[in-house]
């Protein structure tokens, strides 16, 4: 049986507009465990005063019986988990739509992300980018889908000046 495994590239610069095709599916390489500190800090930073996220005694009296992770944090983490595979070379996000939260996220849950490319098109106004639309979902360690959404972003083309290799040139010889 032929192997689906390919050698890692010598240089990884992320995907560019030309690398996307409708139907491509990407799964995050890493998971991210949500901590109590993550939840409380994010909730405080965003000035969310719902005690469901930071008051254990209050949360214990709800149907969840424990603090819920701030859903905006869940969206941010799952989006971040998709970046190495999809938007490392994005010029800008254009929209998030159809955000659904079918299951709660709790402190201690580990999230993974899965993305599917839904559409790619040329930019009508900027020759350096193309438009990529995808759907994403976050899946916890129990295999439960905890968030689903659509996201559209502008992806740079491979030859765009904004993504030129910026590694500093040196003439110094190696010393080790």
Number of domains present in the structure of the chain: 1
Let me know if residue 175 belongs to a domain. Answer: no
Let me know if residue 121 belongs to a domain. Answer: yes
The 10s digit of each residue's pLDDT in 87-96 is 999 999 999 9
CA angle, 117 as apex, 111 and 123 as ends, to 5°? 125
Q: Which pTM was predicted?
A: 0.89
**pLDDT number for residue 9:** 74
Let me know if residue 9 belongs to a domain. Answer: no
Let me know if residue 2 belongs to a domain. Answer: no
**pLDDT number for residue 164:** 85
Let me know if residue 1 belongs to a domain. Answer: no
Q: Which domain holds residue 69?
A: 17-161
Let me know if residue 65 belongs to a domain. Answer: yes
The 10s digit of each residue's pLDDT in 10-33 is 777 889 999 999 999 999 999 999
Query: Which CATH number characterizes residue 60's domain?
Result: 3.10.129.10
Let me know if residue 82 belongs to a domain. Answer: yes
């Amino acid at each position: 049986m032929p192997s689906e495994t390919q050698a890692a590239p010598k240089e990884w610069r992320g995907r560019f507009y030309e690398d996307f095709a409708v139907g491509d599916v990407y799964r995050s390489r890493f998971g991210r465990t949500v901590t109590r500190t993550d939840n409380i800090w994010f909730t405080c930073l965003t000035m969310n005063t719902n005690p469901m996220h930071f008051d254990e005694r209050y949360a214990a009296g709800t149907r969840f019986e424990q603090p819920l992770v701030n859903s905006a944090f869940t969206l941010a983490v799952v989006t971040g988990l998709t970046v190495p595979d999809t938007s490392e070379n994005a010029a800008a996000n254009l929209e998030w739509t159809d955000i659904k939260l079918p299951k709660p996220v709790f402190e201690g849950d580990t999230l993974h992300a899965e993305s599917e490319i839904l559409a790619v098109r040329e930019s009508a106004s900027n020759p350096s980018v193309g438009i990529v639309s995808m759907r994403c979902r976050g899946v916890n360690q129990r295999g439960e889908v905890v968030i689903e959404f659509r996201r559209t972003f502008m992806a740079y083309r491979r030859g765009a000046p904004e993504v030129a290799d910026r590694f500093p040139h040196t003439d110094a010889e190696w010393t080790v």
